[in-house]
Structure 1
Amino acid sequence: MAYLVLLVGVLAVSTASIFIRFAQSEVPSLVIATYRMALAGLLLAPAALWRGKQAQTSLEPAEKRQVLLAGVLLAFHFASWIASLELTSVVNSVVLVTTAPLWVAAASPVLLKEPVSGNAFIGLGLALVGGVLVGLSSICSITAGGFGCQEMGDFFQGKAALGNLLALMGAWFSAGYLVVGRRVRKKLHLMTYTFRVYGMAGLTLLVVTLFFGLVLNASSGTNVAELLFDYSPISFVWMILLALIPQLVGHTAFNWSLAYLPAAFVSVALLGEPVGSTILAILFLHESPTLLQFIGAGFILAGILLASRQTAE
């Protein structure tokens, strides 16, 4: 059941970059991130409050602080990753942000006392190689004449370089979120945990958005209403869908899985997102994947399969 839930989660989060790109035609990235987490937290509130007070008394003060920390890390994950989509390609952004397993695998033995076996590292390596191939597919191709790439300077310079760095920072924050969540998730009901984390993330993002939008840009005369609400109805549709599908369905599935599977494996499963994004691009954007993308997807799936078998053993 845990593996099935993870699959649903991967498919759900794969829609995120499409909704974000549509919303970014009008809405700033920080505002998109704020709506994503604030709406998710509000939608979870009735179920979380109904679960009641018994879960609230099951945590020590230090564990309550860890839940809040998980929310802050999640907020900065989305702030940095969504901003990266404005500056670099979707493929580069998604591939770099899904390197989180590398950092989780490095931290799990020390912080969680969860050993990571040799086979799990091999699976992680295969998946990361696949992610790199998917990323290179935007500038490289396989033809009858062999393998060739265009000029790679744009990948490391200018706006693209900043976007790539922000996506990598998103991976670091995501890894921290998963590690912290693994420590406290078992003690809380899923709805209670996600409501607290999403609510903290939404509050953090709101503060950051208001600071950057109002304080740092005071000379522009922007007010709170313009910053948060002055957008077309279709933009709100994209942000609502972003909160419902990738966040509530996708990330809630990952949070549920953290109670039953090691954090390293849950994060490895996130590497399936580039595959899901490719499938959705075929269905909705009519973008045909290249041979290199297919090969990269094969590596990713092989890595996830190997890590899955190791975890099951």
Structure 2
Amino acid sequence: MRISERLAPLAIIIGVITVSFSAVLVKLSSGEPGVIAFYRMFFSALILLPFFLKSHIKEVKHLKKKDWMITAASGVFLACHFILWFESLQYTSVASSTVLVTMQPLFAFAGAYFLFKERITSQAVISALVAISGSVLIGLGDLQVSGLALFGDILALISCAFVTGYLLFGQSVRKHLSLTTYTFLVYSFSALVLLIYVLIKRESLGPFETNDWIIFLSLAILPTLFGHSLFNWAVKWVSTTVISMAILFEPVGAAIFAYFILHETISTTQSLGGMIILLSLGYFVLTIKRIKVS
């Protein structure tokens, strides 16, 4: 086993921790959802630009039409995910929104099976269902099945489908495309889509207070470059299904950060849900030694 392959689990762990900051940072910003998402992707692509120009620009010449189409689709899916998720945070709590966004195994299992013919074991299905039940428990303290909160919950669930599609597209292209090239192109496509969305909605691109610019940069550096980029790197060796299972840790981290930073309380049911997630993922790791990209 190569060193890069052995480091994939560590990359996923770091990625999960950093993406757990995302919802809290969005809540702290005064910008509109589309604008926050745009600056997140714009700054991410801008930071990657010198690395792309220095060592990877020649790789673009060898991209096939199919690669361009898949990469563009991945960027569009990522943009749709951010738009819907950030909008959902305007209506519902960090815990509830994050819980629904991390329901990815439901979509990942189906996508991996139909697109990549990955074998799904009964142990994987059981551990996923138990973990999902734990995710639901985390949000029970805040979840409101009525009015605007319900609208926010629906947006978060739809955004979950989009981010799973984004990961599945990445699993296809990352087999032969470098991480820097893939992420730069995806983030650039995503930023372009988000800019069009912002202009159509006539949302303000500025000016902002210094605090907001710090938040935009933090979103680019933490949950994007140290979060999504690490997932994109790991997906070359680890299945989208495994990554989606690991991302179920995000509600735990997000709830903890929301408690200390936003002073959102954590209920008994949320604590119980976190324990269920940890136990189910432990079971998953013990029973599924490794799911490789087929």
Q: For residue 116 of structure 1, what is the amino acid of its counterpart?
A: I
- The residue number in structure 2 matching 1:151 is none
- The residue number in structure 2 matching 1:191 is 180
Checking the alignment, whether the CA contact within 8 Å between 2:24 and 2:262 is kept in structure 1 is: no
Checking the alignment, whether the CA contact within 8 Å between 1:112 and 1:179 is kept in structure 2 is: no
CA distance in 2, matches of 1:208, 1:287: 31
Checking the alignment, whether the CA contact within 8 Å between 1:58 and 1:187 is kept in structure 2 is: no
- Larger-gyration structure (1/2): 1
Query: Is residue 159 from structure 1 mapped to residue 136 from structure 2 by the alignment?
Result: no
CA distance in 1, matches of 2:32, 2:266: 29
Deviations 1:148-190 (A, max 9, x none): xxxxxxx232211111111011101011111111111111111
CA distance in 1, matches of 2:174, 2:188: 16
- Measured after TM superposition, the shift of residue 100 of structure 1 is 1.6
**Residue of 240, 243, 246 corresponding to 2:220:** 243
Checking the alignment, whether the CA contact within 8 Å between 2:78 and 2:190 is kept in structure 1 is: yes
Alignment of 1:1-313 (within 5 A): 1-23=7-29, 26-138=30-142, 155-213=144-202, 227-287=204-264, 289-313=266-290
Number of corresponding residues? 284
Checking the alignment, whether the CA contact within 8 Å between 2:75 and 2:188 is kept in structure 1 is: yes
Question: What is the percentage of aligned positions where both structures have the same residue?
Answer: 35
- Measured after TM superposition, the shift of residue 303 of structure 1 is 2.3
Which deviates more, 227-236 or 46-55? Answer: 46-55
Checking the alignment, whether the CA contact within 8 Å between 2:56 and 2:180 is kept in structure 1 is: no
RMSD: 1.6
CA distance in 2, matches of 1:53, 1:264: 30
Deviations 1:122-161 (A, max 9, x none): 111111010000011236xxxxxxxxxxxxxxx2322111
CA distance in 2, matches of 1:113, 1:200: 28
TM-score (norm 2): 0.92
CA distance in 1, matches of 2:234, 2:155: 27
CA distance in 2, matches of 1:65, 1:128: 32
- The residue number in structure 1 matching 2:3 is none
- Measured after TM superposition, the shift of residue 279 of structure 1 is 2.7
Deviations 1:38-86 (A, max 9, x none): 1101111111222234432443211221011000000000000001000
Q: For residue 28 of structure 2, what is the amino acid of its counterpart?
A: F
Note closer, same or farther for the CA distance 1:255–1:290 as it changes in structure 2 (3 Å cut).
same
CA distance in 2, matches of 1:63, 1:5: 25
CA distance in 1, matches of 2:283, 2:181: 32
Gap regions ≥5 residues in structure 2: 1-6
Structure 1 consecutive aligned stretches of length 4 or more whose deviation exceeds 4 Å: 285-288
- Measured after TM superposition, the shift of residue 269 of structure 1 is 0.9
- Measured after TM superposition, the shift of residue 283 of structure 1 is 4.1
CA distance in 1, matches of 2:262, 2:85: 21
Q: For residue 256 of structure 1, what is the amino acid of its counterpart?
A: W
- Measured after TM superposition, the shift of residue 288 of structure 1 is 5.1
Note closer, same or farther for the CA distance 1:283–1:162 as it changes in structure 2 (3 Å cut).
closer
- The residue number in structure 2 matching 1:145 is none
Checking the alignment, whether the CA contact within 8 Å between 2:94 and 2:254 is kept in structure 1 is: no
Checking the alignment, whether the CA contact within 8 Å between 1:59 and 1:187 is kept in structure 2 is: no
Which deviates more, 94-103 or 46-55? Answer: 46-55
Checking the alignment, whether the CA contact within 8 Å between 1:33 and 1:205 is kept in structure 2 is: yes
